[in-house]
Amino acid sequence: MIKAFITDIEGTITRISFVKDILFPYAAKHIAEFVRKNHAHAEVSEQIEAAKVAMKQPDATLDDVITTLQHWIETDQKITPLKQLQGMIWQHGYQNNDFTGHLYPDAYQFLQQQNNQGFVLYVYSSGSVKAQHLLFEFSDYGDIRALFSGYFDTLVGGKKSASSYQNIMEQLPYSAHEVIFLSDVLDELDAAKAAGLHTCHLVRDGQETSPEHFSIGDFTEFTLEQYR
């Protein structure tokens, strides 16, 4: 019996172009100024040190770190200190009304419907938990954070590793077979299935499908009958 959903964000409930065309360029434009201005603040300093560890350069200068952060953005690296810093920068953008958090209308309706029916909703994204909160607080539909009972990011592990989903399940009051993971990425779905979760593949942009996963074009096609 299904009791909960864990959803990816990018490409699943929000369009990929929102992240690539709006959020990433905004962070890239502001990250050098932000790090230089705030490097002494505890939460920023912590991520700078974490970036040095990821770089394997403990003595890297601030300019070295900034150059690496910009390279990570350009190459779409899923590295935790970058994601944490991006979340801090995006907070300013949301609060300044430079953009709102995009959600597909069918995704918003689906999330509302599942919540109303008593299913518990969680989020697992490569974007930081802070960035997730911001997207849902400043979404196209207003503040919808109350729909979700928990948020996970790469601090639990990479999204293509089965152990990450096992780590999440250890924190939830459900067995893996009571949870459906939603994503547009087959490697993520494969990892979730290997951890015992049910899966649903969102195929919004003509991605290849797999017989291993139930696939839908959007949430209007979703049915629980597939999981009974």
Are 24 and 105 in the same domain?
no
Place of tokens 């797999």: 210
Three-state DSSP at 220 gives helix
Domain count across the chain: 2
Instruction: Give the pLDDT score at 141.
Output: 97
Instruction: Give the pLDDT score at 19.
Output: 86
Instruction: Give the pLDDT score at 205.
Output: 82
Beta bridge partners of 101: 139
Final residue of a domain: which of 51, 71, 95? 95
Both tokens of 161, joined, read: 């590793």
- Residue pair 125/153 in contact (Cβ under 8 Å)? The answer is yes
Q: What is the mean pLDDT of each run of 10 residues along the chain (228 residues)?
A: 97 92 93 96 97 96 96 90 92 93 97 98 93 95 97 95 98 98 97 98 91 96 92
Instruction: Give the pLDDT score at 207.
Output: 84
Instruction: Give the pLDDT score at 2.
Output: 97
DSSP 38-92: HTTSHHHHHHHHHHHHHHT-TT--HHHHHHHHHHHHHTT---HHHHHHHHHHHHH
Q: Provide the residue range defining the domain that includes 206.
A: 4-15+101-227
Residues 155, 136, 6: CA angle, nearest 5 degrees: 55
pTM of structure:
0.84
Instruction: Give the pLDDT score at 61.
Output: 97
**CATH (domain of 46):** 1.10.720.60
Three-state DSSP at 30 gives helix
